[in-house]
Structure 1
Amino acid sequence: MIMNLLYLQQRVTVKELCNKLNVSEATLRTDLSLMEKEDLLIRTHGGAILKAETDYQRLSLEKESSNHIEKMKISQKASQLILNRQCILLDASSTALELARILAKVKHKLTVVTNGIQAAMNMKENPNLTVILLSGLLSMGSSALEGSYGIDLFNHINIDIFFTSSKGFTIEDGLTDYNIYEVDLKRAMADSAARIVALLDHKKMGKTFISSFASTEEIDILITDSLTPRSFIEDISSKQVEVIVV
């Protein structure tokens, strides 16, 4: 959480972190000192600033910048599927983060559930949105909460649409990823939603990874960009999946 706040704000204070994390100043000072030793940040009087070119920052930027224009177009189209007063679910993918940035400005009344810390932070200032951050394990270098700790929430709310991306997609294996902990959570997300909307740029197509969290037949709508081969789009459509090309 400290690293995500630094990534968003470049600077944090001990008092601010105390309020957000509900821990003592002594604990925070110890944490900040340890993080400085790990070369993640630079301590300042009363707080810390983001160290330029940390591995965390570099990895986050690389993930976000990959096919950025395509992801923006895909997320813009996805936002048009959302209706007033719906409850939607976002995973922690970089494309879903683009969608979260759009939702940060919408006038719809929405409930948004996500395991993406950056997505939640982007949306939290919009008074029209009720933002629910799933609990889970936060790994170093990641802004995604993982594991099955928060899935009990799905027994108490009705999800209208799950917006998700994946590391790979094939017709045979569906949506796949290599992080089995994140896959477990995404599978629970997919099971909880009335509809699944896959947000996939062309580089995800035809690739498969270790574990699947949703089959092709479970996908209701797939949004992709114009660089996805026409033959692949036709094959997906033949499985009764609505394909939208942007």
Structure 2
Amino acid sequence: MGNSSAHSPQGPAARQTAMAELVLAEGSATAAELAERFGVSLMTIHRDLDELERQGIVRKFRGGVTAQPSGVFESNVQYRLKTMRPQKAALAAHAMRHIEPGMAVLLDDSTTVLEMARRLRLGEITPLTVVTNFLEAINLLAGQRGIHLMALGGDYDPLHASFLGVSCVEAVEQLRVDVGFLSTSGVHGGYAYHQEQHIVSVKRAMLDAAARTVLLVDHTKLSRVALHRVAPLSHFDLLLVDDGASPEALRDLDEHEVRHEVCATDPKERASL
């Protein structure tokens, strides 16, 4: 269609990401609605939806599409790496204030905390011991001067690009770090939630292994639940959230006496996406 450039992000990958975010927000959409919204043909929309379905992000039905259950949708690490990037950058920049030279820090396998690994790679805070089970973070920090990297072993899970399972939990239980940085799928009613039990067990072990813990969540995770409770928010020393959080969601944190800080998102980063 001639008006595709006016409505659609450049390139199929960017369009598919925007389409996935729309379907997640709305819950479902028809192919005709998506074609109009993105200014492309129905044939193009169906090709995009076929690709998103192949990735396990959406489920097609006659004439439309729905978001897959959160357990499938949110587990896809390649999708998670693309979403809420300015907000994750703001959270990571704020969280770096809690790291000092000489510390042992633990990073979980969330793409939010991965933004901290990107900053640690710059070598501005050294020496450090960094412990993680996330292959993306391991690849970023391996061989970096001033960083003693401890990679947690376990069963490699390609969907999450991380090491999990009983052996990972046991490895975490043998450690004691100064501060742990974690993220979860949802925060509501005084609890942190995650959709997958095998990841919950690792996050709980990480909570116990850290003298202090910081929970990083972008605003889309507030007032959301998932299948499993990870822990009460009182088990975290601090919750960081970006400035997109609604007043109602922040009130919920206040009502449950959750210590939290709101992190300002760089408007230039937000506008660049």
1:215 aligns with 2:232: yes
Q: Secondary structure at the match of 1:235?
A: helix
Q: Equivalent residues in 2 for 1:1-246 (5 A)? A: 55=55, 59-107=76-124, 108-172=126-190, 174-246=191-263
| Cα gap change, 1:155 to 1:62, in 2 (>3 Å) | closer
Kept in 2: contact 1:190–1:213 (CA 8 A): no
Instruction: Please state how far the C-alpha of 1:235 moved relative to its aligned partner.
Output: 3.2
CA distance in 2, matches of 1:64, 1:203: 15
Residue identity (%) = 25
Instruction: Please state how far the C-alpha of 1:83 moved relative to its aligned partner.
Output: 1.0
| Cα gap change, 1:104 to 1:223, in 2 (>3 Å) | same
Q: Secondary structure at the match of 1:92?
A: coil
How big is each residue's C-alpha offset from its partner over 1:35-81, in whole Å with a ceiling of 9 and x where there is no partner? xxxxxxxxxxxxxxxxxx9959xx44321111111001101111111
CA distance in 2, matches of 1:165, 1:155: 19
How big is each residue's C-alpha offset from its partner over 1:140-174, in whole Å with a ceiling of 9 and x where there is no partner? 332021112133334543211110111111134x1
CA distance in 1, matches of 2:165, 2:129: 22
Instruction: Please state how far the C-alpha of 1:138 moved relative to its aligned partner.
Output: 1.5
CA distance in 1, matches of 2:172, 2:203: 12
Kept in 2: contact 1:104–1:124 (CA 8 A): no
CA distance in 1, matches of 2:195, 2:97: 30
Instruction: Please state how far the C-alpha of 1:241 moved relative to its aligned partner.
Output: 3.0
**Number of aligned positions between the proteins:** 191
How big is each residue's C-alpha offset from its partner over 1:104-155, in whole Å with a ceiling of 9 and x where there is no partner? 1123211111110111110113111111111111223320211121333345
Q: Secondary structure at the match of 1:80?
A: helix
Q: Secondary structure at the match of 2:167?
A: coil
CA distance in 1, matches of 2:211, 2:225: 25
Kept in 2: contact 1:124–1:131 (CA 8 A): yes
| Cα gap change, 1:63 to 1:227, in 2 (>3 Å) | same
The letter for the 2-side match of 1:68 is: R
Runs of 4 or more consecutive aligned structure 1 residues displaced over 6 Å after TM superposition: none
CA distance in 2, matches of 1:106, 1:239: 37
Q: Secondary structure at the match of 2:239?
A: strand
Kept in 1: contact 2:153–2:171 (CA 8 A): no
CA distance in 1, matches of 2:55, 2:252: 39
CA distance in 1, matches of 2:235, 2:195: 20
- Any stretches of 5+ residues in structure 2 without a counterpart? 1-51, 57-75, 264-273
- Measured on the aligned residues, the alpha-carbon RMSD in Å equals 2.1
**TM-score normalised to structure 1 length:** 0.72
- Any stretches of 5+ residues in structure 1 without a counterpart? 1-52
Instruction: Please state how far the C-alpha of 1:193 moved relative to its aligned partner.
Output: 1.0
CA distance in 2, matches of 1:201, 1:155: 28
Kept in 2: contact 1:134–1:145 (CA 8 A): yes
Instruction: Please state how far the C-alpha of 1:175 moved relative to its aligned partner.
Output: 1.4
